[in-house]
Amino acid sequence: MIDEDKAEGKLAKLYDKLTGPKNNKVAHVLKVHSLNPDVFEDHLNLYKTIMYGKSNITRKQREMVATFVSNLNECHY
Alpha-carbon span 17 to 32, nearest angstrom: 16
59 domain-assigned: yes
**What is the tens place of the pLDDT at every residue in 55-70?**
999 999 999 999 999 9
**What is the tens place of the pLDDT at every residue in 13-55?**
999 988 877 888 898 888 999 999 999 999 999 999 999 999 9
In which band, very low, low, confident or very high, does the pLDDT at 77 lie, cut at 50, 70 and 90? low
Alpha-carbon span 70 to 21, nearest angstrom: 27
Q: Higher pLDDT residue, 77 or 8?
A: 8
Query: In the chain, how many domains are there?
Result: 1
24 domain-assigned: yes
77 domain-assigned: no
Q: Which range of residues forms the domain containing residue 48?
A: 4-72
